[in-house]
Amino acid sequence: MSKQAVTAVVNGESVTFLASPTQSLLAALRDELGLIGTKEGCSSGDCGACSIRLDGRLVCSCLVLAPEAEGRRIETVEGIAEQGALHPVQQQFLEHAALQCGFCTPGLLVAAKDLLERNADPSESEIRFALAGNLCRCTGYDKVVRAVQAAAAQLRGGAVTTPTRGVAATTTMRGAAAQEQAR
């Protein structure tokens, strides 16, 4: 089967890659562009491991054909950090130990960032609903939810609850920044 050239903006950069008409966007991202952060879990859109943003909309890349990406904007987990600095969602996942094996983490990060761009102050039930399409067999989701709540607070410039040796310590981002400047 002959391949066709597909041009898209991936993580802010214009790229052109070759894809067969039946190749999934997931396969093209991993195999043609070397963006291996996006994972293949089920190949049927049920697990969320392959979640990406396509033209600002959260989708399962295993369900999109690569040629459909022509002229579109794609954001993968590799595009979340900006200029080498972790996005608050990534930072809070680390601080709240919201990952274990890590297989589902890229999809959860993309879905969480998508939620926070649409809703700056989501409730716990809104977070759980937004992440319901992302399956995780390790974490039990509570740490994931707490990490998203903390990232939302950080993005709003409010109080952030950071777990410290089993005890939650609350700091204000403005206060933490002031302490950092005083050093």
Per-residue pLDDT of the chain (183 residues; tens, 9 = 90+): 799 999 999 999 999 999 999 999 999 999 999 999 999 999 999 999 999 999 999 999 999 999 999 999 999 999 999 898 999 999 999 999 999 899 999 999 999 999 999 999 999 999 999 999 999 988 789 999 999 999 999 999 976 666 654 444 443 334 344 344 444
Using CB atoms within 10 A of its CB, is residue 104 exposed (0-12), middle (13-18) or buried (19+)?
buried
Q: What was the pLDDT predicted at 43?
A: 95
Q: What was the pLDDT predicted at 47?
A: 96
Using CB atoms within 10 A of its CB, is residue 63 exposed (0-12), middle (13-18) or buried (19+)?
middle
| Domains observed in the chain | 4-79 (3.10.20.30), 88-182 (1.10.150.120)
Q: What was the pLDDT predicted at 160?
A: 67
Q: How far apart are CA 114 and CA 161, in angstroms?
A: 21
CB 93 within 8 A of CB 83: no
Which residues does residue 170 pair with via DSSP β-bridges, in sequence order? 161
Q: What was the pLDDT predicted at 159?
A: 64
Residues ≥6 apart with Cβ < 8 Å to 4: 18, 19, 20, 21, 67
Q: What was the pLDDT predicted at 138?
A: 87
Q: How far apart are CA 161 and CA 15, in angstroms?
A: 39
Q: What is the pTM of this model?
A: 0.86
CB 66 within 8 A of CB 19: yes
Q: How far apart are CA 149 and CA 59, in angstroms?
A: 22
Task: Compute CA distances 113 → 19, 21, 43, whole Å.
Answer: 28, 30, 22
Q: What was the pLDDT predicted at 180?
A: 44
CB 104 within 8 A of CB 134: yes
Q: What was the pLDDT predicted at 140?
A: 80
pLDDT in tens, 21-59: 999 999 999 999 999 999 999 999 999 999 999 999 999
Q: How far apart are CA 71 and CA 57, in angstroms?
A: 15
Helix (H) or strand (E) holding 168: strand 167-172
